[in-house]
Amino acid sequence: MSAGSKVATLADPVTPLDNIAGPEHARVTVVEYGDFECPTCAAIEPAVRHLRDLHGQSMRFVFRHFPLEDAHPHALMAAEAAEAAGAQSKFWEMHDLLLQNSRMLGRKHLEEYALRLELDIDRFRAEMAEELYRQRVREHQEGGRRSYIHGTPAFFVDGVIQDVSGGVGPLFDAVAKRL
């Protein structure tokens, strides 16, 4: 960024409609824009999980979808599957499975994960066929674009973007400074 340019900030505030882990009144909020087929998102997930475990009730973590469809042909469908699981109160379980299996996100795999999570499979299949959650995913993408996101993973700590291109150290530091 050039001198005088603004730091990217989160365009859309966190609402109860978001996928949230942690208390509403936590001291710090971390928002991730991610893509389930992104190898970097999958690789960084253990560190993100450690950050969440480390700060427990002091931190609220929000995941928003930003599928990079040109590079990741299954990312949009995986995001919809996570939302379908969320409608059955299993968003975070599906989130974890998708990132652990980021190279296996075809329709057959997504249905296997739904079965593993003991979702109502008929409901899951119907919602996927209807693309019921596509608009929600598109809204996340649009919010990401308004926040000047171009790739994944992208993290905001209390609304301010954090550069994790060189590793997660700056993310951990930004959270620690706010606690």
What totals of helices (H) and strands (E) does the chain contain, helices first?
A: 7, 5
How many residues does this entry show for the chain? 179
Q: What is the pLDDT of residues 102-122, one digit of tens each?
A: 999 999 999 999 999 999 999
Residues 46-99: tens digit of each pLDDT: 999 999 999 989 999 999 999 999 999 999 999 999 999 999 999 999 999 999
Domain 19-177 has CATH 3.40.30.10: yes
pLDDT band at 132 (very low <50, low <70, confident <90, very high): very high
3-state SS class at 152: coil
Average pLDDT of the chain is: 95
DSSP annotation string for 77-139: HHHHHHHHHHTTT-HHHHHHHHHHTTT--SHHHHHHHHHHTT--HHHHHHHHHTTTTHHHHHH
pLDDT tens-digit readout, 134-179: 999 999 999 999 999 999 999 999 999 999 999 999 999 999 999 9
Where along the chain do its domains lie?
19-177
Please check the confidence at residue 1 and state whether its pLDDT lies above 80.
no
**DSSP character at residue 67:** -
Q: What is the pLDDT of residue 2?
A: 41
